[in-house]
Structure 1
Amino acid sequence: MEEGSIKGKKAEIHFKNTESRRFVELMEKCADKLGTKSTVEFFGKLGREMGMREYNALIGLCIGKARNCSNEEDSMVHIKKAYGLFASMREKGLQIEEQSYGPLLMYMIDMKLTQEFQMFSEFFKDENPESSSRIGYYEMLLWIRVGNEDKIRELFDSVGVADTLDSYKFAESYLLAFCESDRKEELLRLLEVMDIWKVSSPKYIKSVFQSLGRLQLEALTEKIILQLKTAGFGEEDLSFYIYEYTTCVPNLAVEDVVSKFINLHQKLGISPSIASYKKVIMHCCSCCKIHAALDIVDHICKSGLDVPFRCFHPILHACEQYGELDMVHPVYSMMQQHNLTPKGDAFESMISLFVKMKDFEGAYNLLAHAKGMNEMPTTSMYNIIMAGYFREQNNYGARMVLKQMEDADIKPDSKTFSYLIANCKCEEDIVKYCDEMLYSGIEFTKYVYMSLINAYAKFGNFEMAKQVVLDKEIPVKYINEIKSVLVSALSSNGQVNDALCVSEEIKQAGFNLEPKAVISLIEHIRAEGELDRLLQLLGELKDSNSWFDGCSRVILYCIQYNLSSSAIELLKQLKEKDKSSTYIVIDQIFSQIWETTPTNVKIGLELLQAVKEELELHPSRTSLDFLLSTCVKAKDSQLAWFVWAEYEAAGLSYNVLTFVRMYQALLASRDLEAANKMLKQIPKEDPHVRCLIQSCKTAYCY
């Protein structure tokens, strides 16, 4: 097939998948408003036939709503709607497969709905008799979940010695249920009557080894591995099963996992596969044990195996993810030791790590190493170094990158110019770089347009920033994103009203403002009386991370203008979504109360009471420390004693700094007698503490 035909076929598949996904999304929205039955009828009238994907999406919607119900009666309303969808599938002649019935049966297992489960499972078996053995898996899970030992024994006994094809299929399903539930006794008995090499699905065998690991049955694991080896299983599969066993053994340090993985292979006479080695490397990296991952790579190299460079990808990713940037040095050393040359993305990742450590010499050395190994550096690699220099505000270093590119005959691209434009020192430079791009025929990408907007806004030329989005060359698919950058640039440079006007234009055009732009508006709308607008903007944030960020900013706005009741309501919403993050925001609130002038202890105490009584949370030490410091600023010893008592109520012991803060509060309010008593309780062995005490006396007494 010609290349053009292949590309055309891929584009056609992509279009069909996108169209189908959009149809499902539209259908779900309709179902949310009209109900599932009306939705099916509505799309039927439009001539759009419902297929398996659409039915499964609607069934999933019903199950999701059932899970969100607070009582069983309401949830059953949605389950009945799901039943209606299954009945509709039957009428249309669609086969009801596991992807359709599985989520519903799992919901009933989770809710321990035994009667409903039996009714639906019989319906599914009638509609698809071949699914009986697979439904047996869900049935066993149900009885395990509700603890019905008689039913478990009855189903187990029904498979006997698993000597027929039918009984073997049921035995496999029960085996999976026992593995996932770690039912040791039944698992061992079933393995005695089953030939493990005859199990039809690798997924089932994988689950067996995972359960053996959790149950720490090493001798049995070795026995089964040898059985599979005798039955003709390939070494790659056996190596994979050893990996699954070792990584599931509880309370095993990562280094011990690696040791056990290697030792089991040696003991059983099996060569570890590169695929399973890579999985162990990823396991080490997920536990932030980068040294252990490197040791495995070293072991592979010394074993004489060809090391695919993809083994380094999870290591480099972990270095960046966990902030272990300096680990790029031993990674690079190992590559040099074993004559390995990084490729593509890995090369860029290493350069990025050197740059983030501000080791620009190391980044350039890596480029020189690539040239020596006949690996040509790319524009993208130089761009990473340039961006790093600009982050350090080293404009000379950034512009020297251009000279290095010229010497290496590497042409700059649109990303290069986007960095240069974003860091221009004057408007004339913006024009100069745009002219260079036009002369060189370099495409103006969305990044260039975004850089132009931010650069003009930085110089206060807001009219030119607005003109950028009017360029007719901007592809339609990027216009909303670029206009959102304009909103952020205007709002962050004090042009909030103009930013709101552009935001309204975006909405009227039927688009949504990008989350970063919404956050920027929330951050920079600081005039009094704007709470309703801020709440409206908050409602536009759909993903949880952006909503959390926006919500915390609106709460701080409420604190700024003494809107305690609104702040508390938002904290309640925040707690429902993410309890642990709520503590972070509460700490920020008390920090802001302490920083605010004039000091407002009253709102601090209101929020403290709300945290305890309405949110049912214990205030953190950080929150109480800020509140006690606020009492110092307010020179209010009465409220300070109230906060002092809250430490004990929250189960927090008094430390040296707590004593010193309380001492400050008593001195500031001129309660000298109580201050002297508090002074006697402060441990004075540390010279820094003595210095603090002297500073307090100087500030409040002398």
Structure 2
Amino acid sequence: MANVFSTEEDPQAEVLAQIQNILGANSSEAESAEEQCSSPRGSSDMMASLTPKNILDSSWFANGEIFDAQQRKELSRNRKQKFLFKGTESYKFTKLMRNCATKFGPDYTLEVFGRIGRETGIKDYNALIKHCIVKARQSNGEASSVQIGKIYQLFVSMRESGFPIEEASFGPFFEYMIDMKMVEEFQIFSELIKDANPESYSRIGYYEMLLSIRVGDEDKIHELCNPSGVASSEECYNLAVSYLLAFCDTDRKDELLQLLEVVDILSISSLKYLSSIFRSLGRLQCEKLMKKFILALKTSEDGEKNVSPLIYEYVSSIPNLEVEEIISKFSNLHKGLEVCPSIVSCEMLIKICCTSSKIRAAVEVIELICQSGLDIPDHFFDPLLHACERSCEFDMVRPIYSVMSRHNVRPKEKTFKSLISLCVRMKDFEGAYNLLADAKEIEGVPTTRMYNAIMAGYCRGKNFAGALMVLKQMEHADVQPDSETYSYLIANCERQEDVFKYHNEMKLGRIEKTKYVYMSFINAYAKFRNFELAKQVLLDSEIQPKYLNELKNVLVASLSSNGQITDALQLYDEIKQAGCTTEPKTVISLIEHIQSDGKLDRLLRLLEELNDSSFWFDGCSRVILYCVRYHFVNSAIGLLKKLKEKDETSTCFVIDKMYCQIWELGPTHLEAGLELLRAIKEELHLRPSRTSLDFLLSSCVTAKDPHHAQLVWSEYEDAGLSYNVLTFLRMYEALLVSGQRKKASKLLKKIEKDDPHVNYIIKSCKETFMKPSSA
């Protein structure tokens, strides 16, 4: 389809061009949508005849025939009668509609999508409503009122189009009105929605009660919460359940208990609603009532299936319980109520254990499952193994695998790979090979991924011989290497000839070159200082366009880490000029390796590129160290102030690193260290740490500057730090260096001499600094 939507005549035709591109690229998808939905849509010939100027002036059309106003009314009337909707909206259209609403507003968006023959669906309406809510939250006064008016029109449009206005549509807006305490507006909208969808009456009652609680209207709360009228009709009963859920969400204990006396827990079939009730009982610590409901639910049809997750919801909501206490309480309640733990509830327990990095506690839960006679699904162990890796508790692989072996759990390939990976993480290659043997026994043959996990361990330890040994073992086991295998081999080659050899092997084996393989090529060539070949990797026609920018970032980092700063910065600037994204790791690599004088402005610009807080902290600390190295003291102080605004603890850590560098750089940087000390106290209002003062005192010793050593000595007391043996020894050395032997002898009396190492240092200082002048 030719692009007839030229943007020259209408600035808003950009959106129309995007719509046409989607229709052209997804013609089959569009045809499928036409079959599922009764929406009128124009033919390709009709679309091709339209221009940006007249497309919005066209009527709706279907099958090449123009729809008149009467036909549109008939369509709307039929849809109202059927009250049906089939979800046929594609993700691309919904995303495009959100973008269009952001640029031009919901009214124009509906007009565009309606006039091109694509009928607006519920997903689209919901996307536009959420867009207006976001804009309303960002606005105040009249601007927010405008957005509320647009939402009202959207609801009216939905009603007239025959769509049911369900909770997915009105819920987020009611939450906004509750936050803003809009009582009058709530009444207007609730009447509109009740008229459009009478079945929403009870759910609107839930939001109405939340609003009354939010504004503190106690009279209204008591009026709505009238237990005497609960059983008068089914509608009143459903309203009471909605009020009950509102009290659960707000932990209104008195009203909650009042309604629980009249609402039959067995009549609530929704597990979501039951979970909300039990979570509230947990927060309010109403254990007797919880037990009463559990015993009642046990008699229901799905009781045994649902009560265990409800016990979990209760226990996990009790305030101030540690993970181990939650597990103990969970187990005791199941025993006391004679309920068997379910796989679902135990899986949720394992999840909170993994989130809290309580790996041993998670193993206890698995033991609990086994004692209950339940079969353990294999996937149970995957989040547990990932948590071990994330928390660096690699040694937990042994007890986990012991549980699996004792209870005859047969791991799948993915689980075996994770187990092996954890073993090599703690350099237990013997254990990794034992797991490989078990995998061969259970699965029939070890897979490439398992061998790759062992090879990765050797590569992390810079043991390329070990990696080659794994490759030979794969050959003997008749296991074919894949792209991951070659990415490890190429990245860790000790000779450039081996890079060429593995490249040829991949060609002969027709092994796909993934983005990680290309990264390995770039890093390998740069390591061997063949920078032209590293650059030529990006010219490979097989590289998928979506990976090209990421590979450019890798090249920048590789060039900078190998001393090619000029080329790296040039490529980095090209990426920025092309409007492409730069990876934080790339920026950090540039900051780390730009270490020549006169580059501060460039470093500060690079630092501004970092939005992620952790990367910004890393980059800022490196720039501060650069400032110290080249005597940009004022700039260092300014960056320390910014750092303190974000994280005071991290600032103290950076200050310690800064004084360590001052000591390493020698006497020429002592003045900078003293000026920074003044700024830390007077401008940052921080107390220097013992580590910082120790390094600064050592710098005074190196500079043979007793005057400043005495000033630093007094800083310990000002900072509330007691003098220890190392402090005394440093000051003793400073006095001897400057020739102040009397003061040194006086200080020597205060040093504890029980430790032989201390005596050795004192003796060495005397021999070095107290020799006769003739010597």
Q: 2:544 aligned with 1:472, yes or no?
A: no
State the partner residue of 2:308. 239
Q: 2:190 aligned with 1:118, yes or no?
A: no
Equivalent residue of 2:374, what SS?
A: coil
Q: 2:631 aligned with 1:562, yes or no?
A: yes
Partner Cα distance (2:770, 2:188) in 1: 84
Partner Cα distance (1:646, 1:26) in 2: 62
Equivalent residue of 1:128, what SS?
A: helix
1:136 aligned residue (186, 196, 208): 208
1:7-50 Cα deviation digits (max 9, x unpaired)? 989x999994356447646865x5xxxxxxx6557767866987
State the partner residue of 1:210. 279
Q: How does 1:373-384 map to 2 (within 5 A)?
A: 373-384=442-453
Q: 2:428 aligned with 1:359, yes or no?
A: yes
State the partner residue of 2:176. 104
Q: How does 1:130-209 map to 2 (within 5 A)?
A: 130=201, 132-143=204-215, 148=216, 151-152=217-218, 154-156=220-222, 158-161=224-227, 162-163=230-231, 168=237, 171-172=240-241, 174-199=243-268, 201-209=270-278
CA gap of 1:125–1:693, structure 2 versus 1, over 3 A, is farther
Partner Cα distance (1:507, 1:399) in 2: 40
Partner Cα distance (1:388, 1:15) in 2: 47
Range with bigger deviation, 454-463 or 530-539: 530-539
Give the superposition deviation at 1:473. 1.8
Equivalent residue of 2:595, what SS?
A: coil
1:445 aligned residue (514, 534, 540): 514
State the partner residue of 2:589. 520
State the partner residue of 1:410. 479
1:114-147 Cα deviation digits (max 9, x unpaired)? xx5435534543543446423235325525xxxx
Give the superposition deviation at 1:399. 1.1
Range with bigger deviation, 642-651 or 434-443: 642-651
State the partner residue of 2:151. 86
State the partner residue of 1:53. 127
Give the superposition deviation at 1:323. 1.6
CA gap of 1:491–1:346, structure 2 versus 1, over 3 A, is same
CA gap of 1:426–1:222, structure 2 versus 1, over 3 A, is same
Give the superposition deviation at 1:385. 0.9
Contact 1:137 1:176 in 2 (8 A): no
Q: Which amino acid aligns with 1:595?
A: E
Range with bigger deviation, 628-637 or 389-398: 628-637
Structure 1 unmatched runs, 5+: 31-37, 67-74, 109-115
Partner Cα distance (1:14, 1:678) in 2: 86
Give the superposition deviation at 1:454. 0.9
Give the superposition deviation at 1:665. 4.4
Contact 2:206 2:242 in 1 (8 A): yes
CA gap of 1:661–1:169, structure 2 versus 1, over 3 A, is farther
Structure 2 unmatched runs, 5+: 1-25, 34-86, 115-119, 160-164, 195-200
Give the superposition deviation at 1:498. 0.8
Give the superposition deviation at 1:93. 4.5
1:296-352 Cα deviation digits (max 9, x unpaired)? 323322433211112212321222122211111122222222222211321111010
State the partner residue of 1:34. none
Partner Cα distance (2:378, 2:767) in 1: 64
Give the superposition deviation at 1:153. 6.2
Q: 2:401 aligned with 1:332, yes or no?
A: yes
State the partner residue of 1:457. 526
Partner Cα distance (1:554, 1:421) in 2: 33
Equivalent residue of 1:600, what SS?
A: helix
- With the length of structure 1 as denominator, give the TM-score of the two structures: 0.84
Partner Cα distance (1:99, 1:495) in 2: 57
State the partner residue of 2:579. 510
Partner Cα distance (1:557, 1:218) in 2: 60
Contact 2:266 2:297 in 1 (8 A): yes
State the partner residue of 2:553. 484
Equivalent residue of 2:480, what SS?
A: coil
Give the superposition deviation at 1:61. 5.2
Q: Which amino acid aligns with 1:86?
A: I
Equivalent residue of 1:259, what SS?
A: helix
CA gap of 1:165–1:664, structure 2 versus 1, over 3 A, is farther
Partner Cα distance (1:641, 1:79) in 2: 64
Partner Cα distance (1:157, 1:685) in 2: 81
- With the length of structure 2 as denominator, give the TM-score of the two structures: 0.77
Contact 1:556 1:589 in 2 (8 A): yes
Range with bigger deviation, 76-85 or 400-409: 76-85
Partner Cα distance (1:700, 1:123) in 2: 90
2:462 aligned residue (382, 393, 397): 393
Give the superposition deviation at 1:479. 1.0
State the partner residue of 1:72. none
Range with bigger deviation, 342-351 or 535-544: 535-544
Give the superposition deviation at 1:207. 3.1
Contact 2:413 2:447 in 1 (8 A): no
Q: Which amino acid aligns with 1:265?
A: H
Contact 1:290 1:318 in 2 (8 A): yes
Partner Cα distance (2:268, 2:218) in 1: 21
Q: 2:640 aligned with 1:571, yes or no?
A: yes
Partner Cα distance (1:136, 1:361) in 2: 65
CA gap of 1:697–1:363, structure 2 versus 1, over 3 A, is same
CA gap of 1:416–1:26, structure 2 versus 1, over 3 A, is farther
CA gap of 1:581–1:205, structure 2 versus 1, over 3 A, is farther
Contact 1:140 1:177 in 2 (8 A): no
Q: Which amino acid aligns with 2:133?
A: I
Contact 1:213 1:247 in 2 (8 A): yes
Give the superposition deviation at 1:507. 2.6
State the partner residue of 1:349. 418
Partner Cα distance (1:573, 1:170) in 2: 53
Partner Cα distance (2:397, 2:489) in 1: 28
Q: 2:604 aligned with 1:535, yes or no?
A: yes
State the partner residue of 2:341. 272
Contact 1:133 1:169 in 2 (8 A): no
Q: 2:332 aligned with 1:260, yes or no?
A: no
Partner Cα distance (2:425, 2:538) in 1: 33
State the partner residue of 2:498. 429
Partner Cα distance (1:675, 1:93) in 2: 89
Contact 2:464 2:493 in 1 (8 A): no
Contact 1:559 1:567 in 2 (8 A): yes
Partner Cα distance (1:15, 1:487) in 2: 41
State the partner residue of 1:309. 378
Contact 1:417 1:433 in 2 (8 A): yes
Q: Which amino acid aligns with 2:423?
A: F
Give the superposition deviation at 1:219. 2.3
Q: Which amino acid aligns with 2:127?
A: R
Q: 2:91 aligned with 1:17, yes or no?
A: yes
1:221-244 Cα deviation digits (max 9, x unpaired)? 211211222344422321011112
Q: How does 1:592-611 map to 2 (within 5 A)?
A: 592-611=661-680
Equivalent residue of 1:569, what SS?
A: helix
CA gap of 1:553–1:682, structure 2 versus 1, over 3 A, is same
Contact 1:159 1:170 in 2 (8 A): no
Partner Cα distance (2:174, 2:724) in 1: 55
Contact 1:522 1:550 in 2 (8 A): yes
Q: Which amino acid aligns with 1:155?
A: I
How many residues in Structure 1 have an aligned counterpart in Structure 2? 666
Q: Which amino acid aligns with 2:427?
A: K
Range with bigger deviation, 269-278 or 190-199: 190-199
